[in-house]
Chains A and B, each alone.
Chain A
């Protein structure tokens, strides 16, 4: 390639800009002027102005993503006019303010976040390979952990800065059930729905829970939505979960092997365990938990209150990354890509097709049918405080929580809804206006303002 342009070539335009990146010299100069303006601002070393400029640039880029068009507009009307025009319909001032507030210096950049290898942790895991953490200046190691008790101990020991937990766990840690009481916070729900009851193949004709007396069933942890949903489901069918069946806590990876070895009759477990049992031909999916309670929370993103108060900026950046990942995971069109990103050995360590069946909701049920349930698992970060109260009622119902409990106070202390709502708005999600809502579980309405009446309304309970 020649250093100089060939003036004898008919295709050469000698009036074109000298750097070759623009079509005309005019465009080149306009760009140059904008660049010089940036430089002047940078030299001015005025933090506020630089931030403002960064926000302005980001907004202009976002509004006119096409490079050619943007340059043409800048060339015709100039940067100042353009910004003034944008300000007419976009709250630039507010954006600058929010930006300046939230992007304070990070107290800690290298973080460790623990997770359990299940699809409930999807946003926490995918934020690593897909770059959501690094986008916010965080260097996060997501660390696969052997079990819930170890996750609990390692976060309490501060080996992890934050962790994937079951949503009842921060409540249990805060109230001191099953451990010393330590104030914990749960700023985001990881996933809603996404669990299933899987039974061994030999039970394929026993679909009525009334015939399950004597069954040995497994759940991942005592303080889990899995345990409460299974107990709820059994009790609604007149089976006492403490006397009529045996419910054991078994780590998810061991469930499939135990089902194959005929040690258990079934389990209510997070995915991909259910799908893996189907994939290996040892079980079938009896029902998805969304059929028990559509939209129930399951896993959560949790950190100690100490971490939140000592590292507020880091905490916000981390939470923002998680919420963005959650928003990305909500969209059906991204699910295949996510499945590929989180299936490798470093994360879930499962065949891609298993993870994909869970995330896309097009799955084999183990009995020869292909089911299509797009919301088999979904992702919604808002920590409804009424969810917290429901969980506490079940902890009380099954005797895990002793004495008098101020349900509302504990739920509000642990389920941090305000921060999440603000950050959700930032990433374009719509947070609800109140952290309380009523919902129904197996057709029975739950009113978060009357938790005691709710507990008393059950026939089978341990109160």
Chain B
């Protein structure tokens, strides 16, 4: 019997997953009562201290909590305790806003830089200096100057996701095939028409690749930003559970962050394929 390549890959994936979970389960299993303890004293202590339960949760603990989150993802118990669905919603909303603003700034600016060698030279030092700055370094400055934590976290997303889009757009615009531009010039096409009918379609795949990199960065940054300012979002959730030393919940959050990040990436990947053309 000959399995298709895809099926074989899937089988290997599942086998890997099972091995990993089993290893995890065995590694974190408790060792039972560790030492004789006064029962009254033991009542005041946690399971780690009394039963030698590993401080690291096993896959079953994580699955149990995951089930709880999925069963009721949208509950609201005051501003400090809301369901995982709501927290993810806040984070996605912030990313969408910050990323959207970044697109609005990066694409036109990228065009300008791509079209004008003078601007490219003039702006280059600024871009080079700003690009490697970590979101955590921006946060205190944003909080201090903007004086609003929600807008600050959106600003941080914006400032961190703007650079890949900007450089990719500039690169794509600057590298449109000379033949195409020459043809449009021969046909005496106007400037705006050239931009929208020749340059934009030619540069679109590269611009979208830049966006794809940016959205991954934005999603990376939001967790850090929300951990710092607190309140709502998946970053706050991670911080709140870290506060409680609930590693099982932190692992759950990592899972959710991974899945949403993948979905966002796939979405942009799909858009890239839409605008890609074959020559």
Task: Decide whether A and B are members of one complex.
Answer: yes
Among the listed stretches A151-159, A290-298, A390-398, which one makes contact with chain B, having 4 or more residues with CB under 8 Å of it?
A151-159
| Chain B positions within 8 Å of A318 at CB level | none
Among the listed stretches B3-11, B38-46, B102-110, B182-190, which one makes contact with chain A, having 4 or more residues with CB under 8 Å of it?
B38-46
The answer to whether the Cβ of B55 comes within 8 Å of any Cβ in the partner chain is yes
| Chain B positions within 8 Å of A162 at CB level | none
Contact of B45 among A150, A153, A278 (CB under 8 A): A278
The answer to whether the Cβ of A347 comes within 8 Å of any Cβ in the partner chain is yes
Give bound CA distance, A147 to B140, whole Å. 13
Contact of A344 among B81, B147, B227 (CB under 8 A): B81
Shortest CB–CB separation between residue B10 and chain A, in angstroms?
38
Give bound CA distance, A254 to B238, whole Å. 13
The answer to whether the Cβ of A455 comes within 8 Å of any Cβ in the partner chain is no
The answer to whether the Cβ of B24 comes within 8 Å of any Cβ in the partner chain is no
The answer to whether the Cβ of A141 comes within 8 Å of any Cβ in the partner chain is yes
**Interface bits A343-354 vs B (CB < 8 Å: 1, else 0):** 011110111010
Q: Residue on B with the closest CB to A368?
A: B41
Give bound CA distance, A368 to B36, whole Å. 10
Given that A144-B80, A253-B242, A346-B78 are contacting pairs, would A364 and B45 also be in contact in the complex, using a CB cutoff of 8 Å?
Answer: yes
| Chain B positions within 8 Å of A369 at CB level | 41
**Interface bits A109-123 vs B (CB < 8 Å: 1, else 0):** 000000001000000
Given that A146-B227, A345-B240 are contacting pairs, would A370 and B46 also be in contact in the complex, using a CB cutoff of 8 Å?
Answer: no
| Chain A positions within 8 Å of B244 at CB level | 253, 345, 349-350
Given that A260-B55, A346-B77, A370-B41 are contacting pairs, would A153 and B48 also be in contact in the complex, using a CB cutoff of 8 Å?
Answer: no
Q: Are B245 and A280 in contact (CB under 8 A)?
A: yes
Contact of A159 among B37, B44, B148, B242 (CB under 8 A): B148
Q: Are B229 and A144 in contact (CB under 8 A)?
A: no
Q: Residue on A with the closest CB to B38?
A: A368
The answer to whether the Cβ of A145 comes within 8 Å of any Cβ in the partner chain is yes
Shortest CB–CB separation between residue B41 and chain A, in angstroms?
6
Give bound CA distance, A257 to B48, whole Å. 14
Residues from 261 to 296 in A contacting B, C-beta threshold 8 Å: 276, 278-281
| Chain B positions within 8 Å of A260 at CB level | 55
Given that A279-B49, A347-B80 are contacting pairs, would A353 and B230 also be in contact in the complex, using a CB cutoff of 8 Å?
Answer: no
Give bound CA distance, A257 to B246, whole Å. 11
Residues from 222 to 246 in B contacting A, C-beta threshold 8 Å: 227-231, 236, 239-245
Shortest CB–CB separation between residue B50 and chain A, in angstroms?
8
A interface size (C-beta, 8 A): 41
B interface size (C-beta, 8 A): 35
Give bound CA distance, A134 to B92, whole Å. 34
Shortest CB–CB separation between residue A273 and chain B, in angstroms?
10
Q: Are B148 and A353 in contact (CB under 8 A)?
A: no
**Interface bits B27-63 vs A (CB < 8 Å: 1, else 0):** 0000000000110110111101100000100000000
| Chain A positions within 8 Å of B79 at CB level | 141-143, 346
| Chain B positions within 8 Å of A325 at CB level | none
| Chain A positions within 8 Å of B147 at CB level | 156-159
The answer to whether the Cβ of A357 comes within 8 Å of any Cβ in the partner chain is yes
The answer to whether the Cβ of A363 comes within 8 Å of any Cβ in the partner chain is yes
| Chain B positions within 8 Å of A351 at CB level | 46
The answer to whether the Cβ of B143 comes within 8 Å of any Cβ in the partner chain is yes
Give bound CA distance, A309 to B103, whole Å. 44
Residues from 75 to 108 in B contacting A, C-beta threshold 8 Å: 77-81
Q: Residue on A with the closest CB to B43?
A: A353
| Chain B positions within 8 Å of A363 at CB level | 44
The answer to whether the Cβ of A256 comes within 8 Å of any Cβ in the partner chain is yes
The answer to whether the Cβ of B149 comes within 8 Å of any Cβ in the partner chain is yes
Q: Residue on B with the closest CB to A347?
A: B80
Q: Residue on B with the closest CB to A276?
A: B245
| Chain A positions within 8 Å of B236 at CB level | 146
The answer to whether the Cβ of B192 comes within 8 Å of any Cβ in the partner chain is no
Shortest CB–CB separation between residue B250 and chain A, in angstroms?
11
Among A159, A345, A363, chain B packs the most CB atoms within 10 A around the CB of: A345
Q: Are B37 and A143 in contact (CB under 8 A)?
A: no
Q: Are B46 and A281 in contact (CB under 8 A)?
A: yes
The answer to whether the Cβ of B144 comes within 8 Å of any Cβ in the partner chain is yes
| Chain A positions within 8 Å of B37 at CB level | 368
Given that A143-B79, A153-B144, A257-B245 are contacting pairs, would A279 and B41 also be in contact in the complex, using a CB cutoff of 8 Å?
Answer: no
Shortest CB–CB separation between residue B141 and chain A, in angstroms?
11
| Chain B positions within 8 Å of A279 at CB level | 44-46, 49
Q: Are A146 and B49 in contact (CB under 8 A)?
A: no
| Chain B positions within 8 Å of A257 at CB level | 242, 245
| Chain A positions within 8 Å of B242 at CB level | 253-254, 257
| Chain B positions within 8 Å of A158 at CB level | 147
Q: Are A346 and B81 in contact (CB under 8 A)?
A: yes
Give bound CA distance, A363 to B148, whole Å. 41
| Chain A positions within 8 Å of B38 at CB level | 368, 370
Q: Residue on B with the closest CB to A251?
A: B243
Among B40, B81, B236, chain A packs the most CB atoms within 10 A around the CB of: B81
Residues from 205 to 236 in B contacting A, C-beta threshold 8 Å: 227-231, 236
Q: Are A345 and B48 in contact (CB under 8 A)?
A: no
Give bound CA distance, A346 to B243, whole Å. 12
| Chain A positions within 8 Å of B144 at CB level | 153
Shortest CB–CB separation between residue A110 and chain B, in angstroms?
12
Shortest CB–CB separation between residue B230 and chain A, in angstroms?
4
Give bound CA distance, A409 to B245, whole Å. 43
Q: Are B44 and A357 in contact (CB under 8 A)?
A: yes
| Chain B positions within 8 Å of A368 at CB level | 37-38, 41
Given that A153-B144, A364-B44 are contacting pairs, would A141 and B78 also be in contact in the complex, using a CB cutoff of 8 Å?
Answer: yes
Q: Are A364 and B41 in contact (CB under 8 A)?
A: yes
Q: Residue on A with the closest CB to B230?
A: A146
Give bound CA distance, A212 to B44, whole Å. 29
Shortest CB–CB separation between residue B36 and chain A, in angstroms?
10
Contact of A280 among B46, B148, B231 (CB under 8 A): B46
Show the binding face of A for B, using Cβ within 8 Å: 117, 128, 141-147, 149-150, 153-154, 156-159, 253-254, 256-257, 260, 276, 278-281, 344-347, 349-351, 353, 357, 363-364, 368-370
Given contacts A370-B38, A370-B44, 11 further A-B contacts (CB under 8 A): A141-B78, A144-B80, A144-B230, A145-B230, A146-B228, A150-B149, A150-B228, A156-B147, A276-B245, A279-B44, A346-B78
A-B residue pairs in contact (CB < 8 Å), sample of 6: A253-B242, A253-B243, A253-B244, A279-B45, A346-B79, A370-B38
